[in-house]
Amino acid sequence: MMMSTIMMMITLIIASMMMLLNMIISKKLIQDREKSSPFECGFDPKSSSRTPFSLKFFLIAVIFLIFDIEIALLLPMIPTMIMSNINQWMLTSITFLLILIMGLYHEWNQGALNWTK
């Protein structure tokens, strides 16, 4: 009991010393405009809120996010193949891949993947 209390006190003292040392060493300027100003997605909050925004860039970002989520859903398919019934796994995998391919075809058909125009 006494040993754990001593260890707790030593840990508390070391943590307090490290926090005090960090406060002494760190350089904080109150007048630093960049750090004290709010950050809103790269836009200056003091300017007009009606600045033009590239819709094409937004669509590319959304499509990238969708493909990123699709990859995250595809990655666990191989390890689950070992633990599940092969026929059920094959049916589920083919259905999932067909849905993804149909979505890709729809995006391609609508021209969402053509961002050069």
Average of pLDDT values for 48-74?
Answer: 80
pLDDT at 9: 95
Contact 75, 96 (CB under 8 A): no
pTM score, whole prediction: 0.49
Q: Burial-class residue 62 by CB neighbours within 10 Å (0-12, 13-18, 19+).
A: exposed
Q: List beta partners, residue 40.
A: 43
Residue 101 C-beta-side C-alpha neighbours within 13 Å: 6
Per domain, the residue ranges of the chain are 2-110
Tokens (6 digits) for 108: 């391609």
Query: What CATH code would you report for 2-110?
Result: 1.20.58
Average of pLDDT values for 67-82?
Answer: 87
Average of pLDDT values for 34-49?
Answer: 62
- Given a cut of 90, is residue 91 above it in pLDDT? yes
